[in-house]
Chains A and B, each alone.
Chain A
Amino acid sequence: MYPANCHYTEEHEWVRVEGDIGVVGITHHAQQELGDIVYVDLPKVGGTVERGKTLASVESVKAVSDVYAPVSGEVVEVNSLLAASPEKLNEDPHGDAWLVKIKLSAPSEIKQLLTAEDYQKYVGAEKSKH
């Protein structure tokens, strides 16, 4: 379910490191909890983001949710696919529907994130609380 080459947060974001770039998205669990996604508000290219601060907003029919930056750096690209087709986030959250690419300013932050296995366990534990 959760690609092993990605790192995860407890707020349900993922990041995949490609050289000095981190590709960021939200997890399958996040899209499932949100339901039908109808709008994605992405940051401007060229802006800087800080780990743990609001990076983007994802709106489902029901509500708006913040996406937090899993890593710090400069936004070098946003996924233009999502402006016209926000529903892609429900369909392919770990693939085509990535959110932004960040040029990592503190690559060591990656070490503080969860592995796919740990994230899977975390989601399982969180689910059984409900």
Chain B
Amino acid sequence: MTEKPATLQATPLNALHRRMGAKMVDFGGWDMPVQYSGILEEHHAVRKSVGLFDVSHMGEIEIQGPEAFALTDYVSTNAVAKLKIGQAQYSGLLYDHGGFVDDILVHKIAEDHYFICVNASNQEKDYEYIAAANRHNAKVEFAGGRYAQLAIQGPHGPATLQKLTATNLSAIQYYHFTDGQVSGTAARIARTGYTGEDGFEIYVAPEEAERIWDEIMNAGQEFGIKPCGLGARNTLRLEAKMALYGHEIHASITPLEADLGWIAKLDKGDFPGKAALAKQKEQGVTRKLAGFEMTGRGIARDGYEVYLDGAPAGWVTSGGPSPTLNKNIGLCYLPTDRAKPGQQIQIMIRNQPVDAITVPTPFYKRAK
């Protein structure tokens, strides 16, 4: 067994991943498992049964105090006023020009307490952004080191986790959470995920992470649970058309372009980027995110050029094989008037144009 490179950050489960023989990669400065048994096998386990992911690299920021609502609502694009205690909300942090600082998940713990889950490689930036906007005298804490985060995803995810907790999981609706216990340790149990399947994300103390991981693996054994890496996480989220920071969204992309207009509530109070979005909406969005399937032979990858009528017209933000659909799929930016399903496009693959067609998204939607 080899040690992780000293320059990379590690989650509390790093030693376990290495001991178990996971293939490790540098993911935005974090030493993370890209796969255990294989991306395809892990992907299918999540779609058909259950998979377990270490997502402790994700960051957490806590906002507390009488001014917690005012600050949270001001910095984020979605309507925090609509959140009930025990509910989670997908949202964005924007620059004044309307581009993304990050996409986030806001959890309302109490009237005066919000818990925000953010992307690993953005966590310091997000914390500074929120702290700088804190004219409200709320308490803003960087809490990344306080939690390990595990994702139990797939149709047998609830049954797996239920064995380890007295909390009635069926009472937790999608995008809701509760504070309870898992295997005798305090856990925030959220019915959220990044795979397009049912399942939970739990937050536990870092020192409990290895034990909880093992308990979940044992509990899921009867369902054939698989430990999963970031490779499967990516193919799963792509099929479900969930945005990945640095790909579909980044500093030069607005929520309106990214087909995420629903998280930017222009009818609420002011937030950074609101004026820019209002102006963009009025003037018309010039490019939009679209899903596509390859019709010719080849696989589109992040960064490949998209051609319309023989000329460059956009770029691929994410692309690859879809193990569930057995097709090669992707997401790309196209001029708005050409971003509807049914548009013939070409993807430049190794200097050769290969045919593709835009399709409705998400590519995969689980049966309810």
Contact = CB atoms under 8 A, between A and B. Distances in A.
A118 B40 CA distance: 33
B293 to A, nearest CB: 15
Interface stretch (A12-20, A21-29, A56-64): A56-64
B231 A39 contact: no
B2 A61 contact: no
Interface string A87-130: 00000000000000000000000000000000000000001101
B299 A62 contact: no
Interface string A35-66: 11011010000000000000001011111100
Nearest to A54: B350
A64 B231 contact: no
Interface string B220-261: 000000000001001100000000000000000000000000
Interface residues of A, number: 15
B38 interface: yes
Interface of B: 2, 23-24, 34-35, 38-40, 43, 231, 234-235, 297-299, 301, 320-321, 323, 328, 350
A64 B39 CA distance: 15
A41 B43 CA distance: 24
| Chain B binding surface, main DSSP class | mixed
Q: Which of A41, A61, A64 has the most chain B CB within a 10 Å cutoff? A: A61
A36 B42 CA distance: 11
B32 to A, nearest CB: 13
Given A61-B235, A128-B2, A130-B2, A39 B40 contact: no
B24 A130 contact: yes
Given A61-B321, A61-B323, A130-B24, A38 B299 contact: yes
Given A61-B235, A130-B24, 15 more contacts: A35-B23, A35-B34, A35-B231, A36-B39, A38-B299, A39-B297, A39-B298, A39-B299, A57-B350, A61-B43, A61-B320, A61-B323, A62-B234, A128-B2, A130-B2
Nearest to B38: A36
Contacts of B24: 130
Nearest to A32: B23
B301 A35 contact: no
B38 A35 contact: yes
A41 B354 CA distance: 13
Contacts of A60: 39
A59 B350 CA distance: 12
A62 B39 contact: yes
B294 to A, nearest CB: 10
A50 B308 CA distance: 34
A103 B328 CA distance: 34
A94 B286 CA distance: 51
Given A36-B40, A38-B321, A64 B299 contact: yes
B47 to A, nearest CB: 14
Given A41-B350, A130-B24, A62 B34 contact: yes
Nearest to A63: B301
Contacts of B23: 35
Contacts of A130: 2, 24
A39 B319 CA distance: 14
A45 B19 CA distance: 45
A41 B2 contact: no
B231 A62 contact: yes
A97 B40 CA distance: 20
